[in-house]
Structures are given as C-alpha cells and as structure tokens.
Amino acid sequence: MTNKTLIVVLGPTGIGKTDLSIDIALKFNTEIISADSRQIFRELDIGTATPDSRQLHTVKQHFIKSHSIFNDYSAAKFEKEAIDKIEKLFKHYDTLVMTGGSMLYIDAVCKGIDDIPDVDKKIRNELIARYEKNGIEDLRLELKKIDPEYYSKADLKNHKRILHALEIFYSSGRKYSSLLTNPQKKRNFNILKIGLNTDRHILHQQINKRVDIMISKGLIDEAKSVYQNRKLNSLNTVGYKELFQYFDGSISYNNAIELIKRNSRRYARRQITWFRKDNKIQWFDPDDKRNILKFIEGEINKAH
C-alpha cells in the first residue's frame, strides 16, 4: 500500500472549492492540482473565477493559467499532464490536493480514460462541415455501417458522439467501440474524494451573486478582449458566450447577465448529476471545514 494520497475536492461551481482546497493544502503543507477545463487558460480570469493572485501566492497551484485558448486541449491531454505532474510532486509530498469542477477531467485522473488514436484535424473539419450541411441523419447512417456496435449504444441524437466515432475511424481505421475498454487504471497513489454541496436554493443565490461580482470586477472588458476569437472551443464557455451575443447586438445587456446566471445554475446541476453516481465521494457542507479536515486526517492515518 502506498503512503501517497491525492485529496480530491470537487462539487458544483460556486460552492467554495478554491477556498477549502487552499485550507487543506496549507494544513498538509502541500500544493494544488487544478482540474478545471477553463481556469487552465491564461487569457481567462474573471469569468472563470480563477483564484486571485493572493490565493495563488498562498499555495502553489498547477494547471491554472498554464495553457492558451489558442491551443486545443482535452481531457486526455489533461490526464497525461496531470498524472505526470502528480508523480513528480509525490516525490516531495505525501499528500496533494486536486480541486476543480470539470467532471471528466477529474475522472480522467482518478480512473483514467482509454488511449484513443489522434484525430486528423482535417478529417474532423470535413465531418463538421458535412454535419452542418446535411444534418445528423447522414452521419448516423454511416456510423451504423462502419461501427454497428457503437451505433447500438450511442446517443444517436448527439452529433458530437457520432462525429467523434466517425473521426476516430477515418483517422485510424479502427472502430471506436473497439477502443472503449473502460480502463479503471490503477494509480500508484490513494484517492480521497471530498464532495462539497449545500441546499440548492443557497447554491443558486451564491452563483447569482458571484456573477454580479464578476461583472463589477470587469468581466465585460475581459470578454471584449477575447471577442474576436469567439469561435474557439475554449471560449464556448458560460460567462463569455452570452456576452458575445450581447456584443453582437442579438440580446440585451440584462438578458446576457440573466443567461450567464441561468447557464451557471444549469452547469452546477449537471455537475451534481455526474458526481451523484460516484459512491466514493464523501459529501460535506462547505462550511463544515473542521469535520472535513478531521475526516481527511482520519482517512490518511488509516491508509498510511
């Protein structure tokens, strides 16, 4: 049994993961791995609720502002880079904190995802063009032909799923279904999952308030500064995509703010849905810091 433990702090957006993870990292005198698919971009700050400079100076945090919106990123890349970083850091620490709300990124580190061949960008763009021209039915029929197994279990109304299976096939000649093994990779460290959640009404109030604070901190200007790159996937993000519509003149200012709040609430709900089925998570109220620390210490003593 290893004596290395990764403490994973997860939960919906706006619940207070950053503050708690800093407290935990200070307590164990260690560093933080961020698992946040948007805070990772250096061009985004206010709208992603990235930790501020004071917080970043208090505890060293990795994968914050470490990449650019102009480079493609993915959960698979995060898995490789994060595992790499974690293994390096475990040479100096017995415990590490990982925190974030990107469900797939967390699972990529905790459980691993399959190795899937690189996708040829040209092929992806061609398929997207076909989808936009002919709709989903065309691609669906093709998937049925080349990979009936995946077709039988795929979400056939979700074009991203179908596109992905096709682009894998045309890039590598291998069926997507043959690549899916649900790996459950064995990590050489213990994983302790701390989930934060609270009454839904309170969470919604916190989310709404946080959006108002983002606006007062200058989110409008930040969104303007990246407006010209709005087509980038990295900017298909709550807090930015709504403001882009406002800049376009297609929705009002007040409408944009309301939509940011609504979409944040919905994002939080999807996170909760995802995390709910993970029975390894020990849930706490974010204010319950004492018990959280007590719980972590107890578990680490048991494991080591």
Tell me which stretch binds RNA (CB under 7 A): 22-30, 61-69, 98-106, 137-145. 98-106
Smallest distance from the beta carbon of 181 to RNA, in angstroms? 6
Smallest distance from the beta carbon of 199 to RNA, in angstroms? 10
Q: Is residue 77 close enough to count as binding RNA by CB under 7 A?
A: yes
Binders in 28-57 for RNA, by CB under 7 A? 36-39, 47-49
Tell me which stretch binds RNA (CB under 7 A): 103-111, 138-146, 220-228, 293-301. 103-111
Q: Using CA atoms, how far apart are residues 216 and 40, in angstroms rounded to an integer?
A: 22
Q: Is residue 110 close enough to count as binding RNA by CB under 7 A?
A: no
Smallest distance from the beta carbon of 164 to RNA, in angstroms? 5
**Applying CB under 7 A, which of residues 3, 29, 152, 181 lies at the interface with RNA?**
181
Q: Is residue 143 close enough to count as binding RNA by CB under 7 A?
A: no
Binders in 248-267 for RNA, by CB under 7 A? 262-267
At 128, list the tokens: 């997207």
Burial class (CB in 10 A: 0-12, 13-18, 19+), 294: exposed
Tell me which stretch binds RNA (CB under 7 A): 63-71, 176-184, 280-288, 296-304. 176-184
Quick note: the x/- pattern for RNA over 223-242, rule CB under 7 A, is ----------xx-xxxx-x-
**Applying CB under 7 A, which of residues 105, 169, 246, 284 lies at the interface with RNA?**
105
**Applying CB under 7 A, which of residues 19, 58, 104, 146 lies at the interface with RNA?**
104
Please identify, using beta-carbon distances, which residue of 63 and 90 lies nearer to RNA.
Answer: 63
Smallest distance from the beta carbon of 39 to RNA, in angstroms? 5
Size of the site for RNA (CB under 7 A): 62
**Applying CB under 7 A, which of residues 56, 76, 300, 303 lies at the interface with RNA?**
76
Q: How far is CA 128 from CA 42, 77, 155, 164, 273, in A?
A: 28, 22, 17, 10, 29
- Mind giving me the DSSP string for the chain? ----EEEEEE-STTSSHHHHHHHHHHHTT--EEE--TTTTBTT--GGGT---HHHHHHS-EESSS-B-TTS---HHHHHHHHHHHHHHHTTT-SEEEEE-S-HHHHHHHHT-----PPPPHHHHHHHHHHHHHH-HHHHHHHHHHH-HHHHHHS-TT-HHHHHHHHHHHHHHS--HHHH-----PPPSSEEEEEEE---HHHHHHHHHHHHHHHHHHTHHHHHHHHGGGTTSGGG--TTTHHHHHHHHTSS-HHHHHHHHHHHHHHHHHHHHHHHHT-TTEEEE-TT-HHHHHHHHHHHHHHH-
Smallest distance from the beta carbon of 221 to RNA, in angstroms? 17
Interacting residues toward RNA by CB under 7 A: 13, 36-39, 47-49, 72-77, 101-105, 113-119, 124, 128, 155, 157-161, 163-164, 180-183, 200, 204, 233-234, 236-239, 241, 262-267, 269-270, 272-274, 276-277
